[in-house]
Amino acid sequence: MSNITTTADGTTTIEADPKVPVIRMTRDFAGTPAQLVRAHTDRDLFVQWVGPNDSDMRVDYWDARTGGSWRYVAVDGSEEYGFHGCFHEVRDDRLVQTFTFEGYPDGVSLETMWFEDLGDGRTRLHATSLVDSFESRDAMLASGMEVGVNDGYAKLDRLLAAGSV
Amino acid sequence: MSNITTTADGTTTIEADPKVPVIRMTRDFAGTPAQLVRAHTDRDLFVQWVGPNDSDMRVDYWDARTGGSWRYVAVDGSEEYGFHGCFHEVRDDRLVQTFTFEGYPDGVSLETMWFEDLGDGRTRLHATSLVDSFESRDAMLASGMEVGVNDGYAKLDRLLAAGSV
């Protein structure tokens, strides 16, 4: 087990691909692939964990099926930040969706999540974000995205531990 | 006008970006941006021009709005080839959608079309296809895609000339 990142230390690996404008993330969870898919597709679960601790999330619309679409708003005091996209594919082990932060409305990334069954009720999430330039990719990395990612996954850890997923 | 590709010779420029796994296409049309958007979003128009001359197109589902989705099937004799995706954004000058050829179901590209108004009822289409590896991009280029692209745009030229768009 020494090569498996444990959820105890809650480490998310975030890497910039050297060849293509892609961010790759890997994170282990104490849940099955089916639980992880549910946490990413069930509106009421998703809104409980996604995003940084200092934001409240409000889902505007949510239709997590192949060909569906979604929009949510992060509320941080008097500030609101919108995000939207469509679900290209929703299946048992893989999600593919588009993603736009509405503060940068012409920007769009293609997000792929693959859920690797590690056995013993554990799952490794492999996530990639693909954009059309290295400049956009590096701006995403420089934006502080890891705060929202790490806060969100820690909340998801707690939901899994509480038996809520 | 010497730097403008005319529709008389019907040239589509298809280029591989040297830095990112993107295919860029440029094509001029004797139509307004509004007509070009209509040709790409109206189900009954789209099916009349998309794809190679030796295929009949059948639309399975089609909802060309931000957050909608689509699927069509190319019928070539007894062979059928399915394609599907979702519409990330549909607006007056720009379309962003995902694209999967179902013969390669894990493959997905992010397609962006921008319609540049050249004046005098003419429009330059700028299209990009973004994938997550140079290998996938080069396989797309080697697949003979230019036949379908050129046949399709020539059919669209004829629809525009006939006043059908």
User: Cβ neighbours of residue A63 under 8 Å, at least 6 residues apart?
Assistant: A69, A70, A87, B67
Do the chains contact at A20 and B96, CB–CB below 8 Å? no
User: Closest-CA residue in chain B for A83?
Assistant: B88
Instruction: Tell me the average pLDDT across A62-72.
Output: 98
Q: Chain B within 8 Å of A91 (Cβ-Cβ)? A: no
Question: In B, which residues are within 8 Å of A71 by CB distance?
Answer: 67
Q: In what order do the strands lie in the sheet with A12-16?
A: A12-16, A22-29, A122-130, A109-119, A94-101, A79-91, A69-76, A56-62
Do the chains contact at A61 and B67, CB–CB below 8 Å? yes
Beta carbon pairs, A and B, within 8 Å? 82
Q: Chain A within 8 Å of B143 (Cβ-Cβ)? A: no
Q: Chain B within 8 Å of A86 (Cβ-Cβ)? A: yes
**What pLDDT was estimated at residue B9?**
54
Which 8-state DSSP code applies to residue B6?
Answer: P
CA dist., res. A149 & res. A155, Å (int) = 10
What spatial distance separates the first Cα and last Cα of chain A, rounded to whole Å? 25
Q: Which parts of chain B register pLDDT below 50?
A: 1-8
List the single best residue of B99, B101, B129, B132 to mutate versus A (max A Cβ within 10 A): B132
Q: Chain B within 8 Å of A98 (Cβ-Cβ)? A: yes
Do the chains contact at B86 and A100, CB–CB below 8 Å? no
Asked whether the beta carbons of A68 and B69 are under 8 A apart, the reply is yes
Q: Which of residues 22 through 51 in chain B touch A, CB cutoff 8 A?
A: 22
Question: In A, which residues are within 8 Å of B96 by CB distance?
Answer: 98, 108
Q: Chain A within 8 Å of B132 (Cβ-Cβ)? A: yes
Instruction: Tell me the average pLDDT across A1-10.
Output: 45
Reported as a single tens digit per residue, the pLDDT across B7-53 is 445 789 999 999 999 999 999 999 999 999 999 999 999 999 999 99
Cβ-nearest to A108 among B21, B96, B131: B96
**What pLDDT was estimated at residue A9?**
54
Question: In A, which residues are within 8 Å of B87 by CB distance?
Answer: 86
State the smallest CA–CA distance between residue A106 and chain B in angstroms: 10
Reported as a single tens digit per residue, the pLDDT across A81-130 is 999 999 999 999 999 999 999 999 999 999 999 999 999 999 999 999 99
Question: In A, which residues are within 8 Å of B84 by CB distance?
Answer: 66-67
User: Closest-CA residue in chain B for A20?
Assistant: B20
pTM: 0.92
For A7-26, letters b (16+ CB in 10 Å) and e give beeeebebeeeeebbbbebe
**Alpha-helical segments (H) within chain A:** 33-41, 43-49, 134-142, 145-161
For B28-39, letters b (16+ CB in 10 Å) and e give bbbbbbebbbeb
Give me chain A's average pLDDT, please.
Answer: 93
Indicate if the pLDDT at residue A144 is higher than 90.
Answer: no
